[in-house]
Chains A and B, each alone.
Chain A
Amino acid sequence: MTLIILPELIRKLRAHAETSYPEEGAGLLLGTADGDTRVVESILELNNAREPGARHNRYLITPQDMLRAEDEAAQRGMVVLGVFHSHPDHPAQPSDFDLKWAMPWFSYLITSVASGTTVECRSWRLAENRGSFSEEPIEIHAPAPLPDIKAS
């Protein structure tokens, strides 16, 4: 279980989290999945659709935005791999609320932001029984190139 992401995308995620502070920022991860390895190739920064008074510790991506993201991903030969969101002044670990609202299969990449500065990014996947998350290692680099295959 691994999430591979380009350095420039991590930079974008962190910048988005800092810009959103002290509110939670959120968006979707687009890319490809091969077995248990996922490669994030693009991110969609989206509006946090929660009401202003709740955005300091809650985020919402509307079903309309989710549908548009799935259609865009499909057009680009990708799928929606998961969600990124930030935790202002809170660890990069899923909350009980995150657990209650989580979808299976998705990668949940959480960025902690302390006093306006990002601390760390960690990724998680929901357990099948919905009782917990398992941490998913993040590798920050370009995906390995395919080996050359010589014609015989």
Chain B
Amino acid sequence: MTNLRIPTPLRNYTGGKSEIQIIGHTVAEALDDLIAQYPDMRQHIFNEDGQLRPFINLFLGEDNVKDLKQGLDTPLDENQRLLLIPSIAGG
């Protein structure tokens, strides 16, 4: 199990929890488990094509998973903490 930090705007979907536990051997599997637990969150995480929305970032330590060689296939260790942190943008 891995801990996932949930940002403020998505905590409505987790009953107010800022940290949840998710299961997955990779970041992608962890996201699948997140949506399985909280399906109403899907549309804010993924677009209509099933791609991660551009403002969704996942950090392992200081590393943004988007910048890692394996991307969403990056493996997860049991004691790692994943942080879901959005970029805030508009204009």
Q: Mark A residues whose CB is within 8 Å of B.
A: 24, 26, 28, 50, 54, 57-64, 66-67, 70, 73, 79-80, 83, 85, 87, 94-95, 97-98, 101-106, 108, 129-130
Contact = CB atoms under 8 A, between A and B. Distances in A.
A63 B57 contact: yes
Interface of B: 7-12, 43-44, 54-55, 57, 59, 64, 83, 85-91
23 contacts: A58-B90, A59-B89, A60-B88, A60-B89, A61-B87, A63-B57, A63-B64, A63-B86, A67-B83, A67-B85, A80-B8, A83-B88, A94-B90, A95-B90, A97-B89, A101-B88, A102-B90, A103-B7, A103-B88, A104-B9, A104-B12, A104-B44, A105-B11
Contact of A58 (B7, B8, B11, B89): B89
Contact of A97 (B8, B83, B85, B91): B91
Contacts, number: 82
A109 to B, nearest CB: 12
A44 to B, nearest CB: 11
Max chain B CB contacts within 10 Å: which of A85, A87, A104?
Answer: A104
